[in-house]
Structure 1
Amino acid sequence: MIKNSHSYCRVFPLLLIAAAGCSESGEYTPVSGTVYFDDQPLSSGVVMFQPPTGPMARSNIAADGGYSLQTLGEADGVRTGVSKVRVSARAASDGGSGEVGLGRLLVPERYTDFDQSGLTVDVSLDNPGPYDLRLTSNRDPSR
């Protein structure tokens, strides 16, 4: 029994250190900008940032293409670091029966996935933005 208590004494401090690393004490910074698709402001949709640690931040896209991220509260921003970004925008759809469904995508499907979008933003306290996002219908984003 004494042997087990010694093991506990060795493991417990490690558990405390691990738990401290999981805290939500990271720095948040306001993030806003404009989403462009083929050089025109995207007039609707949702933009989401996935920081390296912590919760995802999101914003609806305004009619002028503007967005302002929130994570925990209104316009609080996102955790600092390089965030993966996804954008989703769909046309309104009315099936004629009064039911509203998902309309066609207004941006290429690759932008709707964090790992396929090719979009990342380095969010830092030193850079107040704006963090504009430029999407293109071309397969090659450098064009």
Structure 2
Amino acid sequence: MQIIHCSIGMLCLIFLIAGCSSESPFDMAPVTGTVLYQGKPLPYGNINFRPLSGSPAFSRIDSNGTFTLSTYGDRDGAIVGKHEVLIKATDIDAGKPPRNNSGIEMPVLQSVIPKKYTSFATSELTVEVVAGNDNHFVFELEE
């Protein structure tokens, strides 16, 4: 009887460890790119890719306007398939202190790019990540 309980315990432990794996149940592909604003690389901010299903991918935008996405691990890319994209860059990202209206405890962050790009619902930015392709995307933000 004790052997059965030990065997059941070992099986549960194996399933628990397997369930905690950081590997994605989805196919992944590396994704890089550049964000341009007013014809120049956007030197700060964040970019998010949201797939139809699964976890979104994220990256900070480097000083030269480039990014490399991460979903489950550092720079592992994005889930293969269609994605909606949003980009955020605020006064804090630009190294400027946020405006503080008197009477407000928390300063309000101001977007330094057109607000339409800061939401999946309004950005109108979409891409398709393809396995085995050079998934390098260039986003040119317009006023």
Q: Which residue of 2 aligns with 1:113?
A: 119
Q: Does 1:31 align with 2:31?
A: yes
Structure 2 equivalent of residue 136 of structure 1? 142
Show structure 2 runs of 5+ residues with no match: 1-23
Q: Is the 8 A contact 1:82 1:121 kept in 2?
A: yes
Q: 1:25 to 1:94 in 2, by over 3 A?
A: closer
- 1:114–1:95 CA distance, 2 compared to 1 (3 A): closer
Instruction: Please state whether the residue corresponding to 2:137 is helix, strand or coil.
Output: coil
Count of aligned pairs between the two proteins: 112
- Say whether the 8 Å CA contact 2:34–2:67 is kept in structure 1: yes
In the other structure, the counterpart of 1:54 is 54
Q: Matched residue of 2:116: which SS?
A: helix
Superposition pairs of residues 1-143 of structure 1, within 5 angstroms: 24-92=24-92, 93-94=97-98, 101-137=107-143
* Deviation digits for residues 95-135 of structure 1 (CA, Å, limit 9, x no counterpart): 69xx9945421111110111210000111013213211111
**What's the % identity of the aligned pairs?**
31
What TM-score does the superposition give when structure 1 sets the normalisation length?
A: 0.72
User: How far apart are the structure 1 equivalents of 2:139 and 2:99?
Assistant: 32
Which residue identity does 2:126 align to in structure 1?
T
Residue number in structure 1 paired with 2:9: none
Distance (whole Å) between structure 2 residues aligned to residue 105 and residue 31 of structure 1 = 25
Secondary structure of the equivalent of 2:26? coil
Paired residue secondary structure (1:110): helix
**CA-atom RMSD, angstroms?**
1.9
The CA deviation at 1:80 is 0.7
In the alignment, the residues of structure 2 paired with residue 117 and residue 95 of structure 1 have an alpha-carbon distance, to the nearest angstrom, of 25
